[in-house]
Amino acid sequence: MKKRVLVWFKNDLRLLDNEVLFRAAERAEEIVPIFCVDPAQFKLLPNGLTKTGSFRAQFLLESIEQLKNQLQERGGDLIVSVGLPEIEIPILAKEYNVQQVFTKKEISPEELTTVASVEKALWKIGVEIDAFSTSTLYRATDFPFGIKDIPDVFTTFRKKIERETHVRPSFPIPELRFPKLKESRVPSLIELGLTMPTLDDRSAINFSGGEKEALNRLDYYLFQSKAVQSYKETRNGLIGSDYSTKFSPWLALGCISPKWIYHEIKRFEKAFGENDSTYWVVFELIWRDYFRFMMKKYGSKMFQLHGWKNAQEVPNRVDERLFQAWINGETGDEFVDANMRELKLTGFMSNRGRQNVASYFVHELKLDWRLGAAYFEQQLIDYDASSNWGNWAYVAGVGNDPRENRVFNTEKQAQQYDPKQTYRRLWLEKN
């Protein structure tokens, strides 16, 4: 009997620098690649929001389709099954007679619960599951401290890991062998109960999902345009695609790894020199890591009103009228409104915008920050549980910001970052 491993793809939709795939190819004679589309991820929630909105869902479906094509080009396929992973994975494991299931390690409570249910179901049919860490720049196991001792202040954390550990090399695409795999297709947005989003020509992010597009964007941002050389000066911009890297949607779905980005930046620095800007992209990727490690450290506390800090006097108002005004960009604060309209019409908003609208939501409207975070979860093309809930908690003052009660003055911010009102006019003059 041939040794077979089922590779359960989740948010690691790539071939390059994917340890799950690399280890599976190393240990098995044949691999069975699966992606499970769980309809629960697209459902309408009791709060009236959809768990995954159209922008993100479309990017996800494009990314799955591309992975399927890439595997087909190598003589295999990606089996796409629609249903609960704890039902689908064991059925396929049995059908293909696999001895093991390999997948990526999870950190947030919801994903951990799903993996635990799959593990339990697999255990009943005598199949083991093994997980590999694929989504961070640094490895927690390389740290000079355990997860529970990770510093709660970002700068302390960053300095320590930069000094005492290093980024590991990337994994190459392994040679892949497959058994005969059954036909399947990627469901459409309509089949998932969603509608096709309309493209807005003002969008900062008219990109498609998938590993090839991610690698093209990386190449463009570094080697073709050399925009990376001025990232630190432009990163607080608001209009267009090049003020920041726009790597986030691909990172969120694992179409590219932060490690791969890091090593490409090092290659760029060797060829063209390093400066504050080339380093600053890495610095931001460390922030991304940090929220992941905080999620691992604090788990479900990251989703609670008072946060892991157990902060007191956190606004917790629920007011549907104010909530809808914020969503629709009709609060009367022009900077907030312009940003919220961009998010609604494109699925993207700059980092500067996100900080302002989140701060306004919590400190001006005094609404329960978890509702704002849930709207971001629906709407953001780059939604990522740790980055989203971690950043919201930070702005709400219940997370990692060591400064107490930091409130963004949206008027001042508008003057500083949109002095000629170009951004506000762009989004407020036409709907």
Please list the alpha-helical segments (H only) found in 246-310: 248-253, 258-272, 276-298
Judged by CB under 6 A, the residue of 383, 408, 423, 427 near ligand FAD is: 383
Q: How many residues bind ligand FAD (CB under 6 A)?
A: 29
| Neighbour tally for 274: CB within 10 Å | 14
Structure tokens at 357: 């609208």
Residue 285 or 414: the one with the smaller Cβ distance to ligand FAD is 285
Judged by CB under 6 A, the residue of 140, 252, 256, 398 near ligand FAD is: 252
Q: Which of 235, 337, 212, 216 is nearest to 287 (CA)?
A: 235
**Separation of alpha carbons 119 and 164, rounded Å:** 35
Half-sphere exposure of 49 (CA within 13 A, CB side): 21
Site string for ligand FAD, 207-236 (x = CB under 6 A): ----------------------------x-
Which amino acid, 37? V
Q: Does 259 bind ligand FAD (CB under 6 A)?
A: no
Q: Smallest distance, Å, CB 184 to ligand FAD?
A: 29
Residue 326 or 383: the one with the smaller Cβ distance to ligand FAD is 383
Q: Smallest distance, Å, CB 421 to ligand FAD?
A: 22
Q: Does 384 bind ligand FAD (CB under 6 A)?
A: yes
Q: Smallest distance, Å, CB 339 to ligand FAD?
A: 11
Q: Does 52 bind ligand FAD (CB under 6 A)?
A: no
Residue 127 or 281: the one with the smaller Cβ distance to ligand FAD is 281
Q: Smallest distance, Å, CB 74 to ligand FAD?
A: 28
Q: Does 387 bind ligand FAD (CB under 6 A)?
A: yes
Q: Cα–Cα–Cα angle for 88, 92, 94, nearest 5°?
A: 120
Q: Does 264 bind ligand FAD (CB under 6 A)?
A: no
Which amino acid, 255? C
Pairing of strands 4-9, 100-104: parallel
Q: Smallest distance, Å, CB 361 to ligand FAD?
A: 9
Site string for ligand FAD, 331-360 (x = CB under 6 A): -------------------xx--xx--x--
* C-alpha distances in Å from residue 343, one per residue of 297, 327, 382, 394: 30, 9, 11, 20
Q: Smallest distance, Å, CB 430 to ligand FAD?
A: 24
Q: Does 246 bind ligand FAD (CB under 6 A)?
A: yes
Q: What is the CA radius of gyration of the chain?
A: 22
Structure tokens at 90: 């064991």
**Separation of alpha carbons 156 and 24, rounded Å:** 36
Judged by CB under 6 A, the residue of 78, 150, 181, 251 near ligand FAD is: 251
Site string for ligand FAD, 69-98 (x = CB under 6 A): ------------------------------
**Complete DSSP assignment for 158-224:** HHHHHHH--PPPPPPPPP----------PPPTGGGT--PPPP-TT-S-----SHHHHHHHHHIIIII
Site string for ligand FAD, 274-313 (x = CB under 6 A): -------x--xx-xx--x----------------------
Structure tokens at 122: 């697999």
Q: Smallest distance, Å, CB 391 to ligand FAD?
A: 3
Beta bridge partners of 104: 132
**Separation of alpha carbons 113 and 119, rounded Å:** 10
Residue 7 or 238: the one with the smaller Cβ distance to ligand FAD is 238
Please choose, out of 15-23, 76-84, 379-387, 401-409, the segment that lies near ligand FAD by the rule CB under 6 A: 379-387
Residue 24 or 281: the one with the smaller Cβ distance to ligand FAD is 281
**Separation of alpha carbons 359 and 372, rounded Å:** 10
Half-sphere exposure of 299 (CA within 13 A, CB side): 7
| Neighbour tally for 205: CB within 10 Å | 18
Q: By CB under 6 A, name the binding residues for ligand FAD.
A: 235, 244-248, 251-252, 281, 284-285, 287-288, 291, 350-351, 354-355, 358, 376, 380, 382-384, 387-388, 391-392, 395
